[in-house]
Structure 1
Amino acid sequence: MRRTEECELTVLCMLRDGNKVLMQDRVGKSWAGYTFPGGHIEAGESVVDAVVREMREETGLTVLDPRICGVKQFPLKDGDYAGGRYIVFLFEATKYSGELISSDEGEMHWVDISEIDGLPTVDDFGELMEVMSGKDLSEFMYVVENGEWRVIKK
């Protein structure tokens, strides 16, 4: 059995300020809608350094206390890493410095948690919130069985 595989590594961060969270209205063709900001981990970069860098690049803010709160993963079917997987390290933070900006990835908005259900969020935002906000789950992953995508939560 093979113990290694090709992986694409990324981060997302839920930055909280009281009852509000910072959300990005993503404009890309894939995975469009409101979600948390983040991006790819660079070669040789630590996971924590990546979330701090990505947050600064996409929001102008420096997160000061990022804590990992979960993992999302799914198999890659196309492209350079076909047969591998895409792994997203999920973070939360409550302390930050700097001035909020938006990037070409999308507009940034402070959103009251009670108003999120009314927003056009990315497809799996419910699962993201369930893992990132809850105490019972630490991971959700997509698997393909008999040609069908299925979500497993742990």
Structure 2
Amino acid sequence: GYTLPGGHIESGESIVDAVIREMKEETGLTIKDPKLCGVKQFPIEDGRYIVFLFRTDEYTGDVISSKEGEMHWVKKDDLSKFDLVNNFEELLQVMLDEKLTEFQYVVEEDEWKLILK
């Protein structure tokens, strides 16, 4: 399914620098002034996996596809027409709603549940 660009932080790299680098590598865009807009987390063995969510509307360049997959602009109102990854709409809600900060999966009785805070 469709998802947002993302990646991993390299050793010694700041989180913001990683966001700028990954966007350039995956989309061809040079972004400016990314702002932290939420956190996604889910349990893994002996801990948790944390994803920092950023957004910006400041960029230069043109969208290009990469080894990560085909990249193209999609209007927010057209998202329902695409086969999105599970809970994409809730993730986007956390990123855009200033009242929300956290997208969390928890496991209760062997069932994964989503909590938004």
- Shorter-normalised TM range: over 0.9
Q: Which residue of 2 aligns with 1:46?
A: 14
Instruction: State the 1:141 CA deviation.
Output: 0.6
Q: Which residue of 2 aligns with 1:124?
A: 87
Give 1:99's aligned amino acid: D
Tell me the distance in 2 between the aligned counterparts of 1:111 and 1:91.
18
Instruction: State the 1:142 CA deviation.
Output: 0.7
3-state SS of 2:74 partner:
strand
Give 2:84's aligned amino acid: T
Q: Per-residue CA shift, 1:12-59, capped at 9, x if unaligned?
A: xxxxxxxxxxxxxxxxxxxxx112111111122111001000000001
Q: Per-residue CA shift, 1:66-85, capped at 9, x if unaligned?
A: 00100000011xxxxx2221
Percent of counterpart pairs with the same letter? 61
Give 1:67's aligned amino acid: K
* TM, length-normalised to structure 1: 0.73
* TM, length-normalised to structure 2: 0.94
**Superposed, which structure 2 residues align to 1:27-106 within 5 Å?**
33-76=1-44, 82-106=45-69
Instruction: State the 1:115 CA deviation.
Output: 0.4
Q: What residue ranges of structure 1 are gaps of 5+ in the alignment?
A: 1-32, 77-81
Structure with higher strand content: 1
Tell me the distance in 2 between the aligned counterparts of 1:95 and 1:111.
17
Tell me the distance in 2 between the aligned counterparts of 1:74 and 1:35.
17
3-state SS of 1:42 partner:
coil
Instruction: State the 1:103 CA deviation.
Output: 0.8
Runs of 4+ in 1 over 2 A off after TM superposition: none
Instruction: State the 1:99 CA deviation.
Output: 2.8
Q: Which residue of 2 aligns with 1:139?
A: 102
Tell me the distance in 1 between the aligned counterparts of 2:12 and 2:113.
32
Q: What residue ranges of structure 2 are gaps of 5+ in the alignment?
A: none
Tell me the distance in 2 between the aligned counterparts of 1:150 and 1:113.
25
Give 1:54's aligned amino acid: E
Aligned length: 117
**Aligned-pair Cα RMSD in Å:** 1.0
Q: Which residue of 2 aligns with 1:112?
A: 75
Instruction: State the 1:91 CA deviation.
Output: 0.6
3-state SS of 2:41 partner:
strand
